[in-house]
Structure 1
């Protein structure tokens, strides 16, 4: 009888135990996952704070505040935009042909002017160097034709606000307004007062690849951040101070198992509490300013 009773109890409890285990294990995994995720974010935020503290009042921050660091495209399209998809394709593939002569450089140096009394003298690019920065001159596919150039001025967004800078104005066949290329060299990036984060010191911290754009009102920025093929995409958090805006990136929903090794860049919009202004935009992983454009592209932020 005792054995029979035990069997009845076992049969009665088994379904309840199964339900309990399923529910309990699920809740436990979610709780552990949330706890680990929160721990990682806390460590990443601590690193972001360390970067902000290191830059605050540093000689590097002073050098940055006095330099010329463009944060927008150095090449500016004709005012009307491209007339057709063939011309757009030619620009994207840098397929230009030069018909005529480009002028020699008239001066070795030129002035960057922020319009508030702040100016800076920087080396001036020659017309030929400026042309080669956006033109590969291939013969295959659609092409754009440059017929001449003259030295003029344009405006560009920089780390210190909008500045008026010298620019080469390239005349394009079939267009009433020129293609403009900023003609001054960016300043040298100052040495960071803090080194790159050590591997594993801030769980899951990733590098922010580059700045892709800033809203007109400065209340949001768009950055490019990398992630893999086996996750839910990049996440970019922000730590704001009076002197800096520090971005700390990670990936969401990383999964184990077979996965392609290539990294995928994705645009992420980051909202700010107040306009970016002249605050320095920093990357928590590298401890350095976030650049605009590719390092070897047409619009590097610094030399």
Structure 2
């Protein structure tokens, strides 16, 4: 493996483990392999099959289907957001100012309610905790002002389909409708039945950097894939089984020689042969479910 490729693979692997920030160029590609043509690597295809075989019918898959795992934004913006560029900048920088009291949770637990009729009871997040998940900025520059909050509900996509969950509704100064933040944390992820790709053993597979969104009809998913500054960008192949959908990310057009060590990322939309439904969406590199990134 060329030294430059090995270095970038190591950096991206560390990113996948800790969820660090990267610079972005969010162009979107359609199709299971995006718009860039390439020949799927036999080693990557074999790895995808290994991951699918390990998960299908496993205890981990059964636990995943019993839990609450958002596949959508857990923060929903007010209607007509944003009024101007400053408000958008403030939200993206997580710059909020609290001008009011945040209430205590009226009860200890809340329920996820799925359209299927199933439900799950989980600890309810306090308003202060929910606020702190969105207000992480340093207050430099433009800010949004929160004047109060109350407990309500929101609907979002999950690994088990659409669900209604308790949510804190934060009143923002200047907006007629609230900013919503889901008041339940995801269930603990099950232990994967397959280990991640060992560092330095694959020059083709790359870790995905998270799920961006699932289409309303569940027939496609958009993921964030990483690549370097000296290649033509990422592609994502898909292996579908009855119990899982395994995504294999790679890059095309990699060049040897001197190159900056920055990380870039792109949105890649992967079309599926049939709806995702409750099949487990998996990353071939890590062997783990692809989690949503806010």
* TM-score band, normalised by shorter chain: 0.7 to 0.9
Report the TM-score, using the length of structure 1 for normalisation: 0.81
Shift of 1:200: 5.5
Q: Map residues 221-232 of structure 1 onto 2, 5 A cutoff.
A: 221-232=221-232
Q: 2:247 aligned with 1:271, yes or no?
A: no
Distance in 2 of aligned mates of 1:177 and 1:120: 28
**Which residue in 1 is equivalent to 2:205?**
205
Contact residue 90 and residue 144 of structure 1 kept, 8 A: yes
Distance in 2 of aligned mates of 1:176 and 1:152: 16
**Which residue in 1 is equivalent to 2:127?**
127
Higher relative contact order (CA 8 A, sep 6+): 2
Distance in 2 of aligned mates of 1:270 and 1:115: 25
**Which residue in 2 is equivalent to 1:74?**
74
Distance in 2 of aligned mates of 1:256 and 1:136: 39
The change in CA–CA distance for 1:44 and 1:200 in structure 2 (over 3 A counts) is farther
Greater Cα shift, 199-208 or 243-252: 199-208
Shift of 1:267: 1.2
* Unaligned residue ranges in structure 2 (runs of 5+): 1-37
**Which residue in 2 is equivalent to 1:159?**
159
Q: Map residues 1-303 of structure 1 onto 2, 5 A cutoff.
A: 38=39, 41-136=41-136, 138-199=138-199, 201-293=201-293, 299=294
Distance in 2 of aligned mates of 1:197 and 1:105: 43
Report the TM-score, using the length of structure 2 for normalisation: 0.84
* Unaligned residue ranges in structure 1 (runs of 5+): 1-36, 294-298
Distance in 1 of aligned mates of 2:227 and 2:185: 32
Stretches of 4+ aligned residues off by more than 6 angstroms:
none
Larger Rg: 1
Distance in 1 of aligned mates of 2:217 and 2:56: 24
The total of aligned residue pairs comes to 257
Shift of 1:115: 2.6
Contact residue 220 and residue 272 of structure 1 kept, 8 A: yes
**Pairwise CA RMSD of aligned residues?**
1.5
Structure (1 or 2) with the greater helix fraction: 1
Shift of 1:140: 2.9
Shift of 1:71: 1.0
Greater Cα shift, 45-54 or 129-138: 129-138
Distance in 1 of aligned mates of 2:172 and 2:72: 22
Q: Secondary structure at the match of 2:41?
A: helix
Q: Could you give the per-residue CA deviations for residues 108-155 of structure 1, whole angstroms, max 9, x where no partner exists?
A: 211100032210011111001111111136443222111111001111
